[in-house]
Amino acid sequence: MLVCTNGSAGSGKSTTAAALAYAAAKKKKRVCVIGLDKQRDISRLLGYDDPDGDEDLPTLYDVVDKICSLAEAVLPAKDSKTKEVIPNLWVVLESKKLDELEFKLAAETARELWMYRLIGELRGRFDVIIFDCPGDVKLATIGAIIAGGEVVGCTKSQEKEARGLTELEDKIVDVAKSYGHTGMPTGIDWVVISEGVDHKSQGKVYKDMEDQLREAYGDIVLETVGDDVKVPEAYTAGQPVTLYAPDCRAAKAFTKIGRQMKLYR
């Protein structure tokens, strides 16, 4: 299980989660993506533009609200352009009501374990489970980290997102003091840098920040996803970049990242 996260918004979490999910599905792996963000970007990238607009669509908030089980909320991912089901890929949709998660679970004992208590329903059904977290390290993200297997720190070659990784590390250490017995991760396992630059002539500040990230995190920093116009194009089209333009620079980088993570060969 992968937890795509950062303490800062706009760090490429949904882009990374969707790209890796589609790449793994293409390699015949059974993949489920669980969306935790009220912005609902991962839902849109996997074929569902407005989950809240269709009462027949179950969402993760419905699971929290005990309207359905987590297993019942798993839906086939779709190609937003053709509306065809994407083989081997499923999604648990987000809701704007996830903004109320902390209030909803306020009375729960050890509420940080909310996802840990649910995820057992999906164990064994999928080869890869990916959590797409919101741009903060609050209850939704903490729940995913405790339930998850490996933390993927998503960032860009910019100071704000890099600081978000530091905040994330500090929070993991803090949470592990209470919930380390669950087997939760004890730090960041992988770092994915998107919108990277090739050399200083493209932006010295950005290249220096990338060099600092590689120095700080060493071998867990994976292939840099270079700045590629196909990434925003794919977002606008509502598709993972690995589906939208599989031969583009960014798609190839994400596919290599999946191999580095050993999601597939």
Cα–Cα distance between 89 and 97 in angstroms, integer?
A: 24
> Letter for the amino acid at 76?
P
pTM above 0.85, yes or no: yes
Cα–Cα distance between 43 and 59 in angstroms, integer?
A: 10
Lookup: tokens for 208: 């220096």
For residues 170 and 207, the answer to whether their CB atoms sit within 8 Å is: no
Cα–Cα distance between 92 and 98 in angstroms, integer?
A: 13
For residues 153-161, average pLDDT: 91
pLDDT at 239: 98
Cα–Cα distance between 11 and 156 in angstroms, integer?
A: 6
Q: To which H or E segment does residue 228 belong?
A: none
**195-241 pLDDT tens trace:** 877 655 556 777 888 999 999 999 999 999 999 999 999 999 999 99
pLDDT tier for residue 37 given thresholds of 50, 70 and 90: very high
Could you give the C-alpha distances from 209 to 136, 202, 241, in angstroms and in order?
A: 21, 13, 25
For residues 50-79, average pLDDT: 97
Q: Which bin fits 106, alpha (ψ -120 to 50), beta or left (φ > 0)?
A: alpha
